[in-house]
């Protein structure tokens, strides 16, 4: 036919649109060979004389040696924080405190590429996320709390807000810089001084942040950074001169901290694990709901305490949703965190990878059906493919325990009541997602779900103005928003 | 082509006065998804691949009251050989003109791979009696156009007369003969993504071979999220019925970088199967030279002066 002839001179269409590698350059980051502790505005050698390498999850390259603090180091850090609190910081005009916070926020924005690259290098998360989520949100938290610093009387009317004193803050490895910002910004805005203990697998952006503090000319000792493992954290928790402990991490450690703090008069906030329900009703905008499922569980390789790790789909749309989900999983690009096109990066540590593997094996053993899209994983480094389990019973470990990896368990429900009952049937209560076109249903579900954060027709969205925190074994206390100031203040009548 | 096309699920005839539930689109989430895909970083050989594909997918368009045989001849020559200095650059997919210009375009491109597309059905508003619109489409087909770009009646659509919209598409399709039918939704006038999805499914049910965003006469014209919504409708129809419908964003696409973003959207929504001029087109008048300039940059490593690219 004529039409066929006319097409002959066209070159054949290649079968795939392969994206060439698009690596973000790591030249922008300059790392020291080894880092001491940041105490009283100076770098000091740890008394412990102990160092460990921080490893890049993408290829197991040792990036830098980092100090592991002991009891003596922690004591010095708390002393430096106490000094700074007593000698100037707590008496400083609130508007002056605000200036430092604004300055830190702006420096973070200016140096955001450097921080984003280091965050991906040290933690394994895709550069797209560290660039578009972690860094903008970190800066936004400092901007937001800078604004509150001189308005505390208005935030808490008829009270006399006073700073608590020295805050000991222990942060996790999943959002190292962002969790640092969530903790430090409200603490400083309220007039406290800080001893921060970053996670042992991801200390480098916190150490680079010390440079931001110097650039901002923050008075020495207002923020002290003590690296190390759980021992350093435990020393900080039990130190008698610490007035407040803020911890983000596992429920197991959270319980230990609560026991250690009991009876001491220390203030405490805990932001712990979760096993969030992401609930899809049959009237939901399905293509966008599928994006929400993907973002809910594969964002940051599932290393997210509020990850939507239990998917509840109304049975009438179960097959359609699952088909769309599997198709979408096939387009996820797993690989080098520094590649700008990577969607799912490396697992943070070999220990975490082992835990994920163990739980996935238990799921298969218990009878759930596993699906993983075909994807090539790099040979070096720690990797786990995006995974979904179907035929999951509420009683399986993968439906009960926090996996903290890119593993989704799918369950079904028939009615809103059943969805609420199943969703609440967990010791955790950090977050939940509801997908429906019906506004009234969103409101009634939000009232009945026992979770601190409810997302409606979206998932894993964060904003400094919005309080974040859990019910039940997901912890207590809120971070973010006006609520986030409370734990850092004594509110006298 | 007299056989009635299969309806996607969710539709129940009669369509008057309103459609049954056909799903919905969340505005915030669809815009987020489109924005996220737009951050894909396409470099080196993959960029060259995309740019070359963009040329082969282009409907080089002139739709002006001032169009003359001379103007259309110049455009058609450009379509055949976009870059006289680099003969490895392929011809474009088609030239897109008003009905009166169809013979002039055909004169130039006959015997080549370049097709002639013509707008019809009281373009751009569609505000004429159905009989006249069908008649116009039939005449355009007789004139020898390979492709007919019709507009839907937005007045009917927005007043809930979906059956009228459906019926017009169906009747135009009947008179198209072998010509391919592209149905322009004019998404800039539809107001919501829900409407875009509805209109897409309606046009496809009526027999569209392609669905197209815009006339180019209304702002906003094509956008990434609107295109994503339409691609998702195409995907749902394909999964439901096996029919493969083409997509044509038109209007407002002026830069090579945008074109690459659209191709990423197609690649990640419908897959590489749709990366062919048979199933995806760009409607554009000023995009081609920017793409040519970028191709030259990729091949030589340096940007050339715009003076080296012909203005037609």
To the nearest whole Å, the CA of A372 is away from the closest chain B CA by 18
Transcribe A243-267 into DSSP letters: -EEEEES-HHHHHHHHHHHTTS--E
Question: A436: distance to nearest CA of chain B, Å?
Answer: 10
| Segment A44-64, tens digit of pLDDT | 999 999 999 999 999 999 999
Q: What is the pLDDT of residues B269-289, one digit of tens each?
A: 999 999 999 999 999 999 999
C-alpha atoms less than 13 angstroms from C-alpha of A411 in its C-beta half-sphere: 26
For the cut 60, the answer to whether the pLDDT of residue A67 exceeds it is yes
User: How much is the pLDDT for A10?
Assistant: 40
Catalytic residues of B, which ones?
149, 212, 248
Partner-chain residue, chosen from A18, A21, A288, that has the shortest CB–CB distance to B30: A288
Set of chain B residues whose Cβ sits within 8 Å of the Cβ of A323:
239
R_g (Cα) of chain B, nearest Å: 19
**Which residues lie closer than 8 Å to A375 by C-beta, 6 or more apart?**
A332, A334, A385, A386
Do residues B196 and B190 touch, judged by C-beta distance below 8 A? yes
Residue A132 DSSP code: I
Complex-level ipTM? 0.91
Q: Is the pLDDT of residue B17 over 80?
A: no
Helix (H, G, I), strand (E, B) or coil at A52: strand
Cβ–Cβ below 8 Å for A288 and B25: yes
**What pLDDT is stored for residue B312 in this prediction?**
83
Return d(Cα B249, Cα B263) in angstroms, integer: 11
Residues of B in contact with A322 (CB under 8 A): none
Structure confidence at residue A336 (pLDDT): 97
Q: Which spans in A262-413 are helix H?
A: 286-298, 318-329, 350-366, 397-400
A485's CB contacts (< 8 A; 6+ apart) are A145, A148, A152, A155, A156, A161, A186, A189, A190
Q: Which long-range contacts (CB under 8 A, 24 or more apart) does A41-49 make?
A: A41/A213, A41/A214, A41/A218, A41/A219, A41/A220, A41/A221, A42/A220, A43/A210, A44/A76, A46/A70, A46/A73, A47/A72, A47/A73, A47/A76, A48/A72, A48/A73, A48/A228
Sign of the dihedral defined by the CA atoms of residues A362, A367, A371, A375, in that order: positive
Residue A249 C-beta-side C-alpha neighbours within 13 Å: 24
Q: Which of B25, B239, B267 sits opposite A17 (nearest CB)?
A: B267
Determine the pLDDT at residue A447. Answer: 97
- Crossing angle between the packed helical segments B27-37 and B224-241, to the nearest 10 degrees: 100
φ/ψ of B261, rounded to 5, equals -60, -40
- Which DSSP letter does residue B86 get? -
The angle formed by the CA atoms of residues A282, A285 and A287, to the nearest 5 degrees, is 110
| Pair B58, B93: CB distance under 8 Å | yes
Query: pTM, whole model, 2 decimals?
Result: 0.93
In chain A, residues with a C-beta closer than 8 Å to the C-beta of B275 are: 13, 17
Q: What is the CA radius of gyration of chain A?
A: 24
pLDDT score, position A413: 98
pLDDT of residue A12: 43
Q: For chain B, first and last CA: distance in Å?
A: 37
Residue length of chain B: 312
User: SS3 sequence, B225-257?
Assistant: HHHHHHHHHHHHHHHHHCCCCEEECECCCCCHH
Identify whether the C-beta of residue B281 lies closer than 8 Å to the C-beta of residue B57. yes
- For residue range A95-108, list pLDDT tens digits in order: 999 999 999 999 99
Instruction: Tally the C-alpha atoms within 13 A of residue A296's C-alpha that lie toward its C-beta.
Output: 35
pLDDT of A15 strictly over 80: no
User: What's the rounded mean pLDDT across residues A202-214?
Assistant: 98
Residue B6 confidence class, pLDDT cut points 50, 70, 90: low
Residue B2 has pLDDT above 70, yes or no: no
Residue numbers in A near B277 (CB within 8 A)? 10
Tell me the pLDDT tens digit for each residue of B237-273: 898 888 999 999 999 999 999 999 999 999 999 999 9
pLDDT, residue A13, reads 43
Tens digits of residue pLDDT in B185-210 = 999 999 999 999 999 999 999 999 99
C-alpha distances (whole Å) from B154 to each of A64, A259, B149, B168, B227 are 63, 67, 15, 12, 18
Pick A17's closest partner by Cβ from B26, B49, B113: B49
Q: What is the pLDDT of residue B242?
A: 87
CA pair distance A380, A382, nearest whole angstrom: 7
Residue A4's pLDDT is 36
Mean pLDDT across chain A: 95
Packing angle of the helix pair A71-86, A230-238 (nearest 10 deg):
50
Give the rounded percent of residues in chain B with a pLDDT score beyond 70: 93
Bridge partner list, A434: A279, A456
Provide mean pLDDT across the span A329-356.
97
Find which of A1, A8, A17 to mutate to test the B interface (most B CBs within 10 Å of its CB): A17
For the CA atoms of B187, B191, B197, B200, what is the dihedral angle to 10 degrees?
Answer: -30
At residue B19, does pLDDT exceed 50? Answer: no
Instruction: Tell me which residue of A434, A394, A144 sits closest to A292, measured CA to CA.
Output: A434
- Under 8 Å between Cβ of B190 and B214: no
Higher pLDDT, B203 or B9: B203
What angle (nearest 5°) sits at the alpha carbon of residue B243, between those of residues B109 and A294?
110
Query: B233 touching A, CB under 8 A?
Result: no
Scanning every residue of chain A, which has its alpha carbon at the shortest distance from the alpha carbon of B51?
A17
Contact A11 B90 (CB under 8 A): yes
The answer to whether the Cα torsion of B269, B273, B275, B280 is positive or negative is negative
Out of B115, B178, B275, name the one closest to residue A13 (CB).
Answer: B275
Name the band, by pLDDT with cuts 50, 70 and 90, for residue A252. very high
**Alpha carbon of A321: minimum distance to chain B alpha carbons (Å):** 12
The stretch B11-37 carries a mean pLDDT of 73
Nearest CB to B113; choose among A9, A17, A292: A9
The reply to whether omega before B17 is within 30° of 0 (cis) is yes
Contact A368, A389 (CB under 8 A): yes
pLDDT at B3 over 90: no
Shortest CA gap A96–chain B (Å): 38
Beta bridge partners of B106: none
Q: Residue B97 pairs with which residues in a beta bridge?
A: B118
CA distance A448 to B270: 38
Element (H, E) at A65: strand A62-67
Average pLDDT, chain B: 93
Within 8 A of A20 by CB-CB distance, chain B residues are: 42-47
The pLDDT, as a whole number, for residue A3 is: 39
Query: CA A343, CA A334: separation in Å to the nearest integer?
Result: 6
Q: Of A430, A454, A459, whose CA–CA distance to A444 is shortest?
A: A454
Interatomic CA distance for residues B79 and A421, integer angstroms: 63
Interface contact A285-B29, CB threshold 8 A: yes
Q: With 70 as the cut, is the pLDDT of residue B4 above it?
A: no
pLDDT at A493: 79
Q: Tell me, what's the pLDDT at A386?
A: 98
Confidence check: pLDDT of B13 > 80: no
- Residues of A labelled catalytic: 271, 305
B6 vs B156: CA distance, rounded Å: 23
Percent of chain A with pLDDT over 70: 97
Give the pLDDT confidence of B31-67 residue by residue, as tens digits: 999 999 999 999 999 999 999 999 999 999 999 999 9
Count the alpha carbons within 13 Å of B143 in the hemisphere toward its beta carbon.
Answer: 25
Distance separating alpha carbons of residues A167 and A193, to the nearest angstrom:
6
**CA A339, A343, A347 angle in degrees (round to 5)?**
90
């Amino acid at each position: 036919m004529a039409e066929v002839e006319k097409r002959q001179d066209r070159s054949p269409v290649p079968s795939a649109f392969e994206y060439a590698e698009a690596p973000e350059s790591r030249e922008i980051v300059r790392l020291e060979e080894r880092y001491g502790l940041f105490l009283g505005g100076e770098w000091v050698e740890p008394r412990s004389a102990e160092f460990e390498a921080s490893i890049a999850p993408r290829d197991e390259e040792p990036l830098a040696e980092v100090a592991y603090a002991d009891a003596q180091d922690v004591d010095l850090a708390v002393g430096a924080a106490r000094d700074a609190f007593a000698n100037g910081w707590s008496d400083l005009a609130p508007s002056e405190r605000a200036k430092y916070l604004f300055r830190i926020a702006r420096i973070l924005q200016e140096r955001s590429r450097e921080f984003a690259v280091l965050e991906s290098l040290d933690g394994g998360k895709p550069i797209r996320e560290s660039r578009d989520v972690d860094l903008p949100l970190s800066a936004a938290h400092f901007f937001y709390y800078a604004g509150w610093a001189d308005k505390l009387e208005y935030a808490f009317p008829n009270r006399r807000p006073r700073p608590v004193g020295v805050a000991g803050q222990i942060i996790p490895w999943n959002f190292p810089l962002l969790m640092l910002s969530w903790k430090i910004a409200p603490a400083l805005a309220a007039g406290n001084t800080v001893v921060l203990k970053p996670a042992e697998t991801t200390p480098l952006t916190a150490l680079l942040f010390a440079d931001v503090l110097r650039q901002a000319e923050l008075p020495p000792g207002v923020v002290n950074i003590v690296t190390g493992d759980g021992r350093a954290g435990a020393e900080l928790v039990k130190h008698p001169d610490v007035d407040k402990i803020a911890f983000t991490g596992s429920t197991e450690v959270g319980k230990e901290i609560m026991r250690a703090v009991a009876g001491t008069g220390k203030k405490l906030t805990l932001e712990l694990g979760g096993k969030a329900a992401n609930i899809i009703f049959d009237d939901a905008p399905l293509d966008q709901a599928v994006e929400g499922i993907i973002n809910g569980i594969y964002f940051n390789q599932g290393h997210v305490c509020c990850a939507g790790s239990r998917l509840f789909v109304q049975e009438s749309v179960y097959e359609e949703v699952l088909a769309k989900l599997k198709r979408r999983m096939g387009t996820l690009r797993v690989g080098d965190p520094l590649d700008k096109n990577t969607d799912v990066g490396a697992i943070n540590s070999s220990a975490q990878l082992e835990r994920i593997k163990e739980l996935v094996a238990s799921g298969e053993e218990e009878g759930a059906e596993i699906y993983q899209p075909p994807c090539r994983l790099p040979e070096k480094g720690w990797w786990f493919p995006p995974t979904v389990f179907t035929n999951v019973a509420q009683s399986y470990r993968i439906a009960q325990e926090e996996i903290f990896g890119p593993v989704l368990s799918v369950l079904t429900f028939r009615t809103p009541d059943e969805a609420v009952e199943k969703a609440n049937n967990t010791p955790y209560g950090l977050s939940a997602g509801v997908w429906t076109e019906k506004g009234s249903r969103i409101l009634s579900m939000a009232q009945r779900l026992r979770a601190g954060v409810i997302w409606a027709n979206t998932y894993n969205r964060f904003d400094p103005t919005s309080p974040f925190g859990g019910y039940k074994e997901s912890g207590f206390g809120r971070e973010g928003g006006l609520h986030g100031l409370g734990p850092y203040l004594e509110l006298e009548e | 082509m007299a056989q009635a096309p299969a309806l996607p699920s969710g539709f129940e005839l009669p369509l008057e006065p309103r459609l049954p539930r056909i799903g919905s689109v969340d505005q915030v989430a669809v815009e987020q998804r489109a924005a996220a895909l737009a951050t894909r970083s396409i470099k080196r050989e993959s960029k060259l691949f995309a740019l070359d594909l963009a040329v082969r997918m282009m409907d080089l368009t002139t739709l002006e009251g001032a169009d003359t045989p001379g103007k259309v001849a110049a455009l058609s020559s450009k379509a055949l050989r976009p870059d006289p200095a680099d003969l490895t650059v392929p011809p474009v997919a088609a030239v897109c003109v008003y009905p009166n210009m169809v013979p002039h375009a055909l004169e130039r491109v006959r015997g080549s791979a370049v097709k002639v597309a013509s707008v019809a059905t009281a373009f751009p508003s569609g505000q004429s009696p159905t009989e006249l619109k069908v008649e116009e489409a039939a005449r355009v087909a007789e004139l020898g156009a390979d492709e007919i770009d019709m507009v839907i009646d937005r007045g009917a659509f927005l007043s809930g007369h979906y059956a009228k919209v459906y019926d017009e598409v169906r009747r135009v399709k009947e008179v198209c003969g072998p010509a391919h039918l592209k149905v322009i939704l004019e998404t800039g006038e539809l107001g919501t993504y829900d409407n875009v999805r509805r209109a897409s499914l309606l046009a496809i049910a009526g027999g569209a071979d392609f669905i197209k965003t815009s006339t180019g006469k209304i702002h906003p014209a094509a956008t990434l999220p609107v295109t994503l919504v339409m691609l998702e409708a195409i995907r749902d129809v394909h999964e439901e019925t096996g029919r493969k419908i083409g997509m044509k964003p038109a209007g407002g696409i002026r830069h090579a970088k945008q074109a690459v973003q659209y191709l990423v959207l197609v690649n990640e929504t419908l897959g590489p199967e749709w990366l062919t001029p048979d199933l995806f087109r760009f409607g554009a008048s000023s995009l081609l030279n920017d793409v040519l300039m970028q191709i030259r940059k990729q091949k030589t490593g340096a940007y050339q002066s715009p003076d080296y690219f012909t203005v037609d």
